[in-house]
Amino acid sequence: MTSSAPDSRNDGGYLLDNARPEAGTRFDALSELFDPTTFRHIESLGIAPGWQCWEVGAGGPSVVTWLADRVGPTGRVVATDIDTSWASRAAGGAIEVLRHDVGRDEPPGSGFDFVHARLVLVHVADRERALHAMIGALRPGGWLLLEDADPASQPLICLDEYGPEQALANRLRAGFRSLLAARGVDLAYGRKLPRLLREAGLTEVTADAYFPITSAACDVLEAATIRHVRDGLVAAGLATDEEINRHLANVTSGRLDLATSPMISAWGRRP
């Protein structure tokens, strides 16, 4: 398959856009944290050679390349994103990379055996339209797997706030959540996924959650995220440069037991 040309344009409403240099570091950390969970779920759905797959909001290449390995040369993986700068590195063979906005554009095809989006819909303005577009792109009997965070259910990045370093980390995390909410992010979206899949008519709906705490990948993700949104935090009066520098030094020291928001995975089948 051929790829669309890499496109560095980003959605002005998306706080964590792919065009920033920190994006690659974030993708690597997210892959280390969440790929095993994602791959376990996809394996349980019976992925096999020849499957037609759509990876929505692909971001980095890790899930895309894993899917292509599973579906083989007789299968197809369509990877879409509003900015394909990173996913385009995986293009070729069974993988087709397209610039696409799941909240606005028509699906890039139909009859998919499997559609997946991870940490995507929480950021999409028209989440309902995006959800129904993904379901409509499935063949009868095809599977949809949605995975999204639920920061509202666990707002702290340091669960054990026993000192000033942890208190600062939690205050900056509250500031980050404020920036997300100002961009229209639904901080309680993850918990809604099972209900939304059932209401959309999917069958065999199941869900679980994964909640990483204290790992090197959590540290890497936090440092990259804070660098990514630093200007926004300062401009909004949510933190000072000195506080951000101090927090980044605390993260580098390895003394903080950092958590991520729980990632809720929900999957169901089109009748």
- Domain map (residue ranges) of the chain: 21-270
> Do 97 and 103 touch, CB atoms closer than 8 A?
no
Q: Assign 1 a pLDDT band (cuts: 50, 70, 90).
A: very low
User: How do residues 18-76 score in pLDDT, each as one tens digit?
Assistant: 667 687 899 999 999 999 999 999 999 999 999 999 999 998 899 999 999 999 999 99
> Do 114 and 54 touch, CB atoms closer than 8 A?
yes
User: How do residues 189-245 score in pLDDT, each as one tens digit?
Assistant: 999 999 999 999 999 999 999 999 999 999 999 999 999 999 999 999 999 999 999
Superfamily classification of domain 21-270: Vaccinia Virus protein VP39 (3.40.50.150)
The CA–CA distances, whole Å, from 213 to 84, 251, 256, 257 equal 30, 14, 10, 7
Q: What is the mean pLDDT of residues 156-184?
A: 96
Q: What is the mean pLDDT of residues 129-150?
A: 97
What is the predicted pLDDT for the residue at 19? 64
Distance of CA 267 to the CA centre of its chain: 15
